[in-house]
Amino acid sequence: MSKDSQWIAGINAVASAIEHDADNVREVLLEAGAKNPRIVEIEGHARRLGIDVRRVAQQALDGVAGGLRHQGAVARYAAAKTWDEHELPALIEAAQGRALVLVLDGVQDPHNLGACLRSAAAAGVTAVVIPRDKAATVNATVRKTSAGAADRIPVIRATNLARCLRELQQLGMWIYGLAGDAEASLYALDLTGNVALVLGGEADGLRRLTREHCDRLAKIPMPGDTESLNVSVAAGVALFEAVRQRRAAAAG
């Protein structure tokens, strides 16, 4: 297989790729004899779009899926588009003062990254920034978990996250980091302008240098007895607080 393509597995992942980015689906393999209505639907949709479809034995699917749960459907997919840091200023400028950027400082679990990207797409973010090193990459697992979101929003891999945050500030962005030990509440922040929300990795949260480059730290108030939220849940809470504030500002 060419290094500029990869296999994605699972009915939802394959269906989403065909629906949202058919031009990048190279071929679809479906289990021979499978009568699942979703698989029949995928086959019909792919054929109508001129995508090569083959019915193959389950063992063949097991082989190309590489251990992923394929549910009788896999697709050879063009590698995820990579966005360069130098493209970030243009994306922010195009947002016309309402840029919303999600920065993930070292999220290492592909499922968490995929879930964060799904929330980011639903919230209409301008871009998601992830470090180039010591963090999950946008692989097949991430794309499946994101339900297609990984291919609909710009995901930028920053060589130096601290430098990237400085550049965001120079572009007029307010940088807000989420930290459980912060005194301020997320709900006390003004999230209506150019804003970057920064969340840390699963184990250690925000790294020291990342914290130092935030304009302010805030926490999600939790009246229950749980000390912290999963990073993808926290990302969803923070992003949709921004969405709520922006809608209220637009309506008022």
Q: What is the rounded CA–CA span in Å between residue 139 and residue 118?
A: 14
CATH of the structural domain 85-251, one choice from 3.40.50.300, 3.40.1280.10, 3.40.720.10, 3.40.50.920: 3.40.1280.10
pLDDT recorded at residue 1: 39
Q: Counting beta carbons within 10 angstroms of the beta carbon of residue 247, is it exposed (0 to 12), middle (13 to 18) or buried (19 or more)?
A: exposed
Residues forming beta bridges with residue 37, ordered by sequence position: none
**Residue 8 labeled ligand binder:** no
- Judged against a pLDDT cut of 70, whether residue 2 lies above it is answered with no
- Judged against a pLDDT cut of 50, whether residue 235 lies above it is answered with yes
Output the CA torsion sign for 236, 238, 242, 245: positive
**Residue 200 labeled ligand binder:** yes
Chain centre to alpha carbon of residue 118 = 5
pLDDT recorded at residue 29: 96
pLDDT recorded at residue 236: 97
CA-CA distances (angstroms) from residue 111 to 43, 160, 179, 199? 27, 23, 21, 16
pLDDT recorded at residue 22: 83
pLDDT recorded at residue 4: 60
What is the share, in percent, of the chain residues with pLDDT greater than 90? Answer: 68
Confidence of residue 144 (pLDDT cuts 50, 70, 90): confident
CATH of the structural domain 5-78, one choice from 3.30.1330.30, 3.40.1160.10, 3.60.20.30, 3.30.420.40: 3.30.1330.30
Confidence of residue 20 (pLDDT cuts 50, 70, 90): confident
| Nearest residue to 231 via CA among 164, 177, 194, 187 | 177
Q: What integer is the mean pLDDT of 107-131? A: 95
Q: Token pair of 213, please?
A: 């480059």
What is the share, in percent, of the chain residues with pLDDT greater than 70? Answer: 97
Q: What is the rounded CA–CA span in Å between residue 77 and residue 79?
A: 6
Query: What pTM value is reported for the model?
Result: 0.78
Q: What's the mean pLDDT when you consider all of the chain?
A: 91
Q: Where are the domains of the chain?
A: 5-78, 85-251
**Residue 220 labeled ligand binder:** yes
pLDDT digits (tens, 9 = 90+) for 202-218: 878 899 999 999 999 99
Q: Token pair of 143, please?
A: 């794309």
Residues 191, 248 contacting (CB under 8 angstroms) = no
Contacts 24+ apart (CB under 8 A), 60-67: 60/29, 61/9, 61/29, 61/31, 64/7, 64/9, 64/29, 65/7, 65/9, 66/7, 66/9
pLDDT recorded at residue 102: 98
- Identity at 21, one-letter amino acid code: D
pLDDT digits (tens, 9 = 90+) for 160-176: 999 999 999 999 999 99
Residues 107, 114 contacting (CB under 8 angstroms) = no
Residues 239, 119 contacting (CB under 8 angstroms) = yes
Edge-to-edge order in the sheet of strand 5-9: 5-9, 73-78, 25-31, 52-56
In this structure, the number of other CB atoms found within 10 A of the CB of residue 145 comes to 23
pLDDT digits (tens, 9 = 90+) for 51-100: 999 999 999 999 998 887 899 999 998 777 778 899 999 999 999 999 99
